[in-house]
Structure 1
Amino acid sequence: MKREKTRMNILQYESKIWATADLLRGSGIKESEWPSYMMPFFALTMIESRLVRMFDNLKVEIGEEAFANINKNDLYDMIKDQGQGYNIYIFEKNQTLTDICKNDKSFEIDFDAYLHGFDGETKDLLGVDATEGEKFLDIKGVISKLKSKKVLMGYTKLWSEVDLKPFNNSEITTLEEHIKRKWADISAETAGEQYTPDDVIALIAEIIASKIEESDKLLKIYDCTCGGGNLLFGVEDRINAKFKRLTQTFGQDWNDALYALAKIESRFRPDSKIEHGNTLVDDKFYNEEFNVVIANPPYGVSWKGYQKDIENDKTDRFKFLPSISDGQLLFMQHMISKLDSFGMGVVVHNGSTLFSGDAGSGESNIRKWMLDSDIVEAVIQLPTDEFFNTGIYTYLWVLNKNKQPQHKDKVMLINASEKFKPLKKSKGSKRKEVDKESRKQIVDTLTQFQDTDFAKVFDKEFFYFNKQAIMLTNVDEDGISFESKLKAGKTSEKLKSTKLSNGERELTEFVITHFNVDQYSSLADFFEKDIKPFISSLDYKEQSLVISTDLARYWFDSEKETLIKEVKGKQESLGCGKIVVKSFYKNANKTQKERIEISVEIMPDYQKDYEIIPFHRDEITNKEVIAAFMAKYITKPFAYLENTVGVELNFNKIFYSPEKLREVMDILAEINTIENELRKLEEGLII
């Protein structure tokens, strides 16, 4: 109860912190820019509160009398040993932001000395001496803008009134998560930039907790897109609340400001390493493996900017490459590569990772590799309206390299789309939360790994399918193809034509060596502007295309879908085929003049097609299933081409529930009621 009360007390500062934005609004600063002004000052407030508390704790540990007599160098050695940074101005002058803001005449000088009193790393993270390229929180740039608007002291004073010193690290982290959530809500440029809600963090932590146990072994937790650290540290805190195991967190992000916030937070945790950079091209933990991986990578974000680096990657992380427009499955493969031999993870994605890409595509091949490796234990569909800046469905992929024997080669789908409690007040696009009872149902269902009304367990091959390519031979109404008229070994018949007509235009010479059309400057010009466009526009099925030779006339009968050959008025059906007319411009050579050649061939009408057929893990049985499908559904002659095995996980297909139709009598009764109400309204108007 005391812990909950303290938590509520610190959340009272949420509105006070957010009120600092009123000054920004009054200064004409756009709402989308507020986070960039608030982040460095919030970080400043957090750092100061923790350093002052650390300083006070040292006084207690050493004793007031001993502390008063301690050598300054020894004191700073003790402070540096804490690994939380330091500030000479605070420690030597015993002054904080509150004290600095009391004197408006010396404020700017004192504030500058205060900022430069921090240790080197803190100054770098805050951006105290930021130059182009390395800004992080860029407090220097923010101060310059606030000065130009003549509100620097007023803005700093508002932040100095946020007193976080009475609260511990965990409580400050709770407040930080609430503030960062609001920033994410207003500053995310795309729906792909996601801040993970607290209820989803709780669900991820509870899933992980269900699969680990008490141990004296260190639990290493990793987030490759950690942002400001809310998911990474939120999971760690919940694990620590349930287990006595030692934990160590690792995170990386390439957003300057969010990395800086996470890095600052990490220094006040027992064992945490946060690095800056693009995980996909510069993995800062390349030689590390982890017990637990978690991530909420960006959705639908292109990786074109570093395409060459990905394609030339030598780490063997990326088995296949997804569409360049969406890098989610690159992060997925990276996360899997970071798991130790018994590791597990939970990764948040949108629906595209389940079904985007056809069989043989990078996305499908990645899914197949994951299922072939038997690393996917479950996929959980979350409710819509769960995240702060998008209303789409999101999914938790549960990865596990240490499946229980009965879970081997199986995947569970959990449809938790209805497992939520509506929020009393929406937070951006977030209108729902996966409440405590719903989280328990989801975790229990995953643990029991049995079918329920909202979950199903499948053999992993259930999600595989054959995409069988075939070459169909089209036939006419009598079931005949022109293929049967060809001599053995021939694939077509060339016609030595003398005339070509499509009902509107006629070409009587099929080798043209001269022309007499005034608007063309040359035979080549005549070919490019007249003959070539005309030939390419011919359609033997849609036009009355007739090819005449010295011996016969040929055309295609669209009604009977057959080629017709006419000799001296007698017509013969040749079977289904096609007429191919081509034109070529030829330069003059030693033996022939410059010319235009037109060729005509009749050939069988082949058509490549694909059939989607259920997959079976046994190769012989799989071939039998394909053959049975063809015998049942394909009536034309065909030849087998390549077979590609694809993988997709389709929640809609599996959990689709048709809307129950209302009874006719109920509908008629409702119509009758409405008609009566309308009649009464009309009578009232007449009166």
Structure 2
Amino acid sequence: MASQPALSSFIWAVADLLRGDYKQSDYGKVILPFTVLRRLDCVLDSTKPAVLAELAAKEKLGVNPAPFLSRITGRQFFNASPLDLKKLLGDPTHVATNLFAYIQGFSPEVRDIFEHFEFQTQIERLSKAGLLYQVTEKFCQIDLHPDKVSNADMGTVFEELIRKFAELSNETAGEHFTPREVIRLMVNLLFVEDDEVLAKPGVVRTLYDPTAGTGGMLSVAGEYLHEHNPKASLAVYGQELNPESYAICKADMLIKGQDVANIVFGNTLSDDGHPTKTFDYMLSNPPFGVEWKKVEREVRKEHQDKGFAGRFGPGLPRVSDGSMLFLLHLISKMRPATEGGSRFGIVLNGSPLFTGGAGSGESEIRRYVLENDLLESIVGLPTDMFYNTGIATYVWILSNRKPAARKGKVQLIDASGMWQKMRKSLGSKRKELSDAHIDRITRLFGHFEEASDHDADGSARPISRIFDNEDFGYHSITVERPLRGEDGKVVLGQKGKQKGKPQPDISLRDTENVPYKDDMAEYFKREVLPHAPDAWIDPDKTRVGYEIPFNRHFYVFKPPRPLAEIDADLKASTDRILEMIKGLSA
């Protein structure tokens, strides 16, 4: 069996042929579609003679051969051309024409994959450069049949190639995929409470990823379910915006026997590819901190015209970061609780936790999530976990079918200290989760209880905490102080509702955030009046806000060392410096 590194380095060797005629950043345009083509070529190899015989028989009868050919290949696809890659090499002068003909011989789903790769352009370009025969010959030397290279290994090879090509062209590879161990953790958290249901034979569940990339999340979830229950079946759905990633995802799903009509090309936010569907499970790693200006018109229109009947009812985040739009999109795709409900996991950066004050789009989205009791848990991951960014990231787990114990509660898990150093960094990714880390986080989540670790000095550091939904809510109150004239007297209103009332001094206006569980009047009496006895609250300006100050809930105060100790240290350092200076001037 070809090992995955050997396979990647073989494919990489093809790049040597392209050097000079192709810019490094364009290698992927040749290598990715050729890898897919060779994979499909190997998959169909053994049934080729039977397919051609069946094709001839059905054409004689004037019957549409397509369904019969799929039955013979045992796949949802076939190739009706008498050619394959090895045969093409037998006619070196017509490789380009024959390669076109071979690709045209595939069933429509496969032709769509090569159209998204814009493979025709590359064939012409390779042909002009006199490289087409050599590249085709090179790919014929490697056996990519699933018996030799498993689907999981193939997926990893694609991810590795995409990451390398992205590095060469300085693109952000993180747009394409999520580290496998992060997906495994998310899949564990998604399925852990449903193990009994999933163990029943004949169970069919749906899984959806609105930012499918090359299909990594869908694949790992499928593998997990198959390991735990070979009789359960997972129907996967996805949408992807990058044409190359979409083509790879679709090819991968095709070989795995998934219905590729469920993988849609396009922008999920402006053009939902599954407008009427809801799902049992969902996973997503949307791009972080990427603005949504391109789709602003469509998104605002849906928000204004459809309100809560559309996807973006609760509110819109600022244009500079669209990740919370994906959160809302996923909420709209949850199977209704009355039909069994849904659970999903989404990777977000820190800003959706706290960006935006009371009444802002972000705060309103958090409010919707918490007031509808959808948030089960947030897991804080270590930094340096992703290929294209070193920032801290968080996995949110949402469900509309919370177990009784979780109702009205949110569990925060701080896994930022659970990591091992990678032997070799990949882009910004220097850390990874070990199997033991994944098990530990999954257990913390599954047991749903508070837990602490002990530092080297023996002090306890919380790693799992449980809160009420209301703990994250607050009232933002506007505190007014009276306007005073030059004589120091309070200025009173002259007419209407304001007649005889003190007028506010805008320059002294202040806002205070009062925790939801506090009584506003009590808070005001306790925190404001002692400092400003003439202040009052303007009730018309009171707003409800929500934020999740994750790190604050795990902060452990370490008292500073005694002053005498610090003084002694400083004196020792100063003495040492004086000695060195003496030595220099000696």
| Smaller-chain TM-score bracket | 0.7 to 0.9
**8 Å CA contact 2:185, 2:438 repeated in 1:** yes
Tell me whether 1:205 sits opposite 2:187 in the alignment: yes
1:63 corresponds in structure 2 to none
1:17 corresponds in structure 2 to 11
**8 Å CA contact 1:382, 1:395 repeated in 2:** yes
Partners of 1:382 and 1:271 in 2: CA distance? 31
Q: 1:76 to 1:312 in 2, by over 3 A?
A: closer
Partners of 2:67 and 2:494 in 1: CA distance? 96
Match of 2:33 among 36, 40, 50: 40
Partners of 1:604 and 1:332 in 2: CA distance? 41
Letter in 2 for 1:19: A
Which is further off, 362-371 or 144-153? 144-153
Match of 2:226 among 237, 240, 252: 240
2:403 corresponds in structure 1 to 404
1:460 corresponds in structure 2 to 469
Match of 2:217 among 231, 239, 244: 231
Matches within 5 A, 1:296-307: 296-307=285-296
Letter in 2 for 1:483: V
Q: 1:475 to 1:434 in 2, by over 3 A?
A: farther
Partners of 1:212 and 1:490 in 2: CA distance? 59
1:609 corresponds in structure 2 to 510
Letter in 2 for 1:222: Y
Segments of structure 2 that go 5 or more residues without pairing to the other structure are 453-462
Matches within 5 A, 1:111-190: 111-127=99-115, 136-165=116-145, 166-186=148-168, 189-190=171-172
2:334 corresponds in structure 1 to 339
Please give the secondary structure, in 2, of the residue aligned with 1:473.
Answer: coil
**8 Å CA contact 2:485, 2:491 repeated in 1:** no
Please give the secondary structure, in 2, of the residue aligned with 1:13.
Answer: helix
Tell me whether 1:375 sits opposite 2:374 in the alignment: yes
Letter in 1 for 2:20: G
Letter in 1 for 2:121: G
Match of 1:279 among 240, 263, 268: 268
Indicate the structure with greater helix content.
2
CA deviation after TM superposition for structure 1 residue 254, in Å: 2.3
Letter in 2 for 1:326: D
Partners of 1:168 and 1:192 in 2: CA distance? 24
Matches within 5 A, 1:623-662: 623-641=521-539, 642-657=541-556
Please give the secondary structure, in 1, of the residue aligned with 2:542.
Answer: strand
Which is further off, 261-270 or 140-149? 140-149
CA deviation after TM superposition for structure 1 residue 423, in Å: 0.4
Matches within 5 A, 1:554-633: 607-616=508-517, 621-633=519-531
2:416 corresponds in structure 1 to 417
1:426-480 C-alpha deviation (Å, 9 max, x unpaired): 00110000111111111111111212221211111111122111322255999x4
Q: 1:670 to 1:628 in 2, by over 3 A?
A: closer
1:213-234 C-alpha deviation (Å, 9 max, x unpaired): 2133311111111121111222
Letter in 1 for 2:160: H
Please give the secondary structure, in 2, of the residue aligned with 1:233.
Answer: helix
CA deviation after TM superposition for structure 1 residue 633, in Å: 4.5
**8 Å CA contact 2:189, 2:442 repeated in 1:** yes
Partners of 1:114 and 1:489 in 2: CA distance? 84
**8 Å CA contact 1:359, 1:467 repeated in 2:** yes
CA deviation after TM superposition for structure 1 residue 391, in Å: 0.7
Which is further off, 247-256 or 47-56? 47-56
CA deviation after TM superposition for structure 1 residue 71, in Å: 3.8
Match of 2:68 among 65, 74, 78: 78
**8 Å CA contact 1:184, 1:195 repeated in 2:** no
Partners of 2:291 and 2:360 in 1: CA distance? 17
1:253 corresponds in structure 2 to 240
Identity %: 30
1:307-326 C-alpha deviation (Å, 9 max, x unpaired): 23222223422121111222
**8 Å CA contact 2:379, 2:395 repeated in 1:** yes
Q: 1:476 to 1:77 in 2, by over 3 A?
A: closer
Letter in 2 for 1:306: V
2:278 corresponds in structure 1 to 289
CA deviation after TM superposition for structure 1 residue 657, in Å: 4.0
Please give the secondary structure, in 1, of the residue aligned with 2:475.
Answer: strand
1:328 corresponds in structure 2 to 323
CA deviation after TM superposition for structure 1 residue 277, in Å: 2.0
Letter in 1 for 2:393: T
Partners of 1:158 and 1:25 in 2: CA distance? 15
1:3 corresponds in structure 2 to none
Partners of 1:199 and 1:650 in 2: CA distance? 26
**8 Å CA contact 2:207, 2:280 repeated in 1:** yes
Please give the secondary structure, in 1, of the residue aligned with 2:138.
Answer: helix
Q: 1:604 to 1:43 in 2, by over 3 A?
A: closer
CA deviation after TM superposition for structure 1 residue 246, in Å: 1.3
Partners of 1:190 and 1:472 in 2: CA distance? 51
Matches within 5 A, 1:45-60: 45-52=38-45, 55=48
CA deviation after TM superposition for structure 1 residue 615, in Å: 1.5
Letter in 1 for 2:217: L
CA deviation after TM superposition for structure 1 residue 26, in Å: 3.1
RMSD: 3.3
Letter in 2 for 1:220: T
CA deviation after TM superposition for structure 1 residue 77, in Å: 4.2
Segments of structure 1 that go 5 or more residues without pairing to the other structure are 1-5, 60-65, 128-135, 493-575, 578-602
1:568 corresponds in structure 2 to none
Larger Rg, first or second structure (1 or 2): 1
CA deviation after TM superposition for structure 1 residue 209, in Å: 2.6
Tell me whether 1:483 sits opposite 2:491 in the alignment: yes
1:520-553 C-alpha deviation (Å, 9 max, x unpaired): xxxxxxxxxxxxxxxxxxxxxxxxxxxxxxxxxx
Partners of 2:531 and 2:91 in 1: CA distance? 87
**8 Å CA contact 1:344, 1:402 repeated in 2:** yes
Letter in 2 for 1:309: E
Partners of 2:559 and 2:288 in 1: CA distance? 34
1:538 corresponds in structure 2 to none
**8 Å CA contact 2:383, 2:416 repeated in 1:** yes
Please give the secondary structure, in 1, of the residue aligned with 2:538.
Answer: strand
**8 Å CA contact 2:378, 2:395 repeated in 1:** yes
1:260-310 C-alpha deviation (Å, 9 max, x unpaired): 211122222233421122222322222221110111112222222222322
Q: 1:405 to 1:186 in 2, by over 3 A?
A: farther
Partners of 2:267 and 2:19 in 1: CA distance? 34
Partners of 1:488 and 1:654 in 2: CA distance? 49
Letter in 2 for 1:290: F
Partners of 1:186 and 1:360 in 2: CA distance? 43
Letter in 2 for 1:608: R
Letter in 2 for 1:219: R
CA deviation after TM superposition for structure 1 residue 79, in Å: 2.8
1:109-156 C-alpha deviation (Å, 9 max, x unpaired): 4333323322233223202xxxxxxxx110112223333433333333
1:87 corresponds in structure 2 to 79
Indicate the structure with greater strand content.
1
Partners of 2:275 and 2:494 in 1: CA distance? 64
2:455 corresponds in structure 1 to none
1:265 corresponds in structure 2 to 252
**8 Å CA contact 2:241, 2:267 repeated in 1:** yes
**8 Å CA contact 2:477, 2:537 repeated in 1:** no
Letter in 2 for 1:121: E
CA deviation after TM superposition for structure 1 residue 347, in Å: 0.5
